[in-house]
Amino acid sequence: MPPGQSGGKGNACMNKDILSVLGRVFWHRTVSISAEVALPPKRIAISLLTLDLLYLSLSMFIAFILTSNHGYTGFGDLELLAVLLLTLAISALIFIRVGLYRAMIRFMGQHAIWTILSSVTYSAITLAIVTYLSEITFSPLLPMTYWIFAVLSVGGTRLCARAFFHSIKWFNSKNVIIYGAGESGRQLLTALQHGEKFRVVAFVDDDINIHGTVINGVPVVPPDSMANISKEFNISQVLLALPTISGERRREIINSLAGLTISVKTIPKISELVSGRAFVGQIQDIDLSDLLGREPVPPNPELIEKCIASKVVLVTGAGGSIGAELCRQILQSSPKVLIMLDNSEFALYKIQNQIKSEMISNTTELIGLLGSAQDFNRMRTIYRTFNVQTVYHAAAYKHVPIVEYNVAEGVANNIFGTAASAQAAKETNVETFVLISTDKAVRPANVMGASKRFAELVVQGLALEESKTRFCIVRFGNVLGSSGSVVPLFKEQIQEGGPVTVTHPDVSRYFMSLQEAAQLVLQASAMGTGGDVFVLDMGEPVRILELAKRMIQLSGFDSNRSNDIVENIDIEFIGLRPGEKLHEELLLGTRVAGTGHPMIMRAEEKALDFRSVEEALQEMETYCLRADCAGISSILRRTVDGYASHEIRHDHIWVTQGNAGKRLPETYIDDENVKFFPRQTRREKN
């Protein structure tokens, strides 16, 4: 018996009966719970349970020693042993029941800590009840003392193990900085702390009121501390957690980070988070539009919907970069039918799958059609069959060097594709026809630009004739991220370790984002009155060399060999490609007028009557069928302003025929099998 008073015989018997009942209850409960509770993974759970029982035994031993007046020596007492075993058994049952062994130690969070505290608390209460029901006299401090040592042993060992796992993770992880200590930044920190790739060293934030504070163990510092922190901790990446800031401020921050030669990544913007297309912990490359030096053109929803909502809309070249983005933007205005036309089976298959996956509750009917915009009969049949109301003509060859090497086919596609599509639209009373053009059509230095200017003249000529169709033209610069664009090329070259190839140190281009380009086209279609040429106020042109340097620096590399620590990526100048010029223009003249949109202008430019254009088309048809580049060039020089100085000398067929003396004779062309628009139209009239 322990020292102190002992209970009477009746009480002792009663207490033993209660202990017996508790034992039987425990046994049956253990059997039932063991059938319900799985311990994943089993071996780890059993090992942890065994350790916890040892910790609890040790805690009870220490608690009895410390709370006894003269030190307790009765550990051989069977009744005390029963109390210990029953307390351990019930505690084990509690630990299993509350799910203490479901949590992985390395990913322990606040919830797991509360689980430990509650489990040990229940164990201490169990000890108090079992000891009270026994004949053992104990101090009121016993449960509390036991609770303290149990928390330190059960919880402390787990926290030490968690710290050990984190130290291993940090040893192999990359040091990063989160720019933005708001809600998104805190959510990103939580996501990264549960991973093994990144260790967040600091928050950077513009708010001076939170500088010097600590968020979940991570200090918040001002932006001017980034240079020192990046050197001290060998920072590999800066993660932008700024989904709600303005585009202008976002670009200011990105430009300030470019000089640090640290890779810059970002989390999705607020629109992507709200729509469910992305989540806060998703790290991605900075948006291509963030590389622009100006604010994107804000869209006007009313203008966009005017030619689309509840209408039958057709997009030619729907599988291309611009055509595909047009389809996505058009769907947001809920057309009745969206027809996607492309002559590439793969491109049509791809865009159909993409559009269908993005449609959630849209009731628009999607129709994918194979066909060439050069086929007048095909276009006319499509317009009539589906009662098309709006056409966005994006089908064209746009890559300058490729068209220089394939002149006849490039001219045929760009000019006759436009002529056939536009004339068929006029004949079938399509309400609106929009030609998507390029800044390369202004005083063109290449065949592609000249062919697009000729296509503009076709549309302007048709607009001068009496027609129920409104014709308009939208002209813009380079599109970031489109196929063949310089930005994806630079990105690929950087990923491969360089060199990054730039044609000339002084070359510059106008840029806009793919989304912005599509929105401009849709808005212009609502403002056109007939033959309009719309251009965008795109700000200052971007120097390609500076764009390349910025992309290299924002990827965490150096382009000047000025840093011995950071890996270098060279920039190599390869010279202007065939047909390229140093600078592009958006206007042929200086006469421009405003529109209903503050950043869209209407250019007042020279147009030809359609009879003159049609005569040039008839001549061009013959030269294209013969692959006669000299004839094609003569028509373009005569028709297109600013093209007189260009010479065609790269076309593969033309060069080979000329060198071998195998130029096709005049009689090679079968006059009855011509395929282009002008002859087909004349044959029908006759």
Mean pLDDT of 395-409: 91
Please compute the mean of the pLDDT values over residues 537-552 and round it to a whole number.
77
State the pLDDT confidence band at 18, using cuts at 50, 70 and 90. very low
Section 623-650 average pLDDT? 85
Give per-residue pLDDT as tens, 547-572. Answer: 888 777 777 676 665 555 557 788 88
Most confident of 80-94, 241-255, 426-440, 533-547: 426-440
Q: Tens of pLDDT along 310-348? A: 999 999 999 998 999 999 999 988 899 999 999 999 999
Length of the chain measured in residues: 686
Residue 553 parent element (H or E): helix 544-554
Residue 630: pLDDT band by 50, 70, 90 thresholds? confident
pLDDT at position 346 is: 95
Average pLDDT, stretch 165-180?
72
Give the pLDDT band (50/70/90) at residue 86. confident
pLDDT of residue 448: 92
Q: How far is CA 442 from CA 5, 171, 186, 496, 586, in A?
A: 108, 57, 50, 35, 6
Task: Confirm whether 174-286 and 301-478+510-539+585-610 share one CATH topology.
Answer: yes
Is a pLDDT exceeding 90 seen at residue 200?
no
Question: Of 3.30.750.24, 2.20.25.570, 3.30.470.10, 3.40.50.720, which CATH number belongs to 301-478+510-539+585-610?
Answer: 3.40.50.720
Residue 582 has pLDDT above 60, yes or no: yes
Mean pLDDT of 26-47: 49
Q: Which of 29-43, 424-438, 607-621 has the lowest mean pLDDT?
A: 29-43
Residue 315 DSSP SS3? strand
Task: Indicate the domain borders of the chain.
Answer: 9-166, 174-286, 301-478+510-539+585-610, 629-685
Q: What is the pLDDT of residue 76?
A: 54
Assess whether pLDDT exceeds 80 at residue 399.
yes
* The predicted structure's pLDDT at residue 236: 77
Q: In the structure, what pLDDT confidence band is assigned to residue 37 with cuts at 50, 70 and 90? A: very low
Kindly state the tokens that stand for 293.
């030096």
Q: What's the pLDDT at 585?
A: 63
Residue 298 pLDDT > 60: yes
Identify the residue with better confidence: 566 or 662: 566
- Distance CA(685)–CA(674), nearest Å, equals 16
pLDDT of amino acid 280: 47
Mind listing the pLDDT tens digit for each residue in 423-443? 999 999 999 999 999 888 888
H helix or E strand, kind and range, residue 490: helix 486-495
For the chain, give the mean pLDDT.
76
Token pair in block for residue 592: 């421009």
List own/partner pairs for 481-486 with CB under 8 A and 24 or more apart. Answer: 481/288, 481/321, 481/513, 481/514, 482/320, 482/321, 482/322, 482/514, 483/320, 483/321, 484/398, 484/399, 485/321, 486/544, 486/547
Banded pLDDT at 607 (limits 50, 70, 90): confident
Topology of the domain comprising 174-286: Rossmann fold (3.40.50)
State how far the Cα of 464 lies from the Cα of 459, in Å rounded to an integer. Answer: 9
pLDDT score at 12: 44
pLDDT at 579: 61
Amino acid 635: pLDDT: 92
Higher pLDDT, 166 or 659: 166
pLDDT of residue 642: 81
Q: Which residue type occupies 125?
A: I
Mean pLDDT, residues 646-669: 65
Question: What pLDDT does 256 receive?
Answer: 79
The pLDDT-based confidence of 444 (bands split at 50, 70, 90) is confident
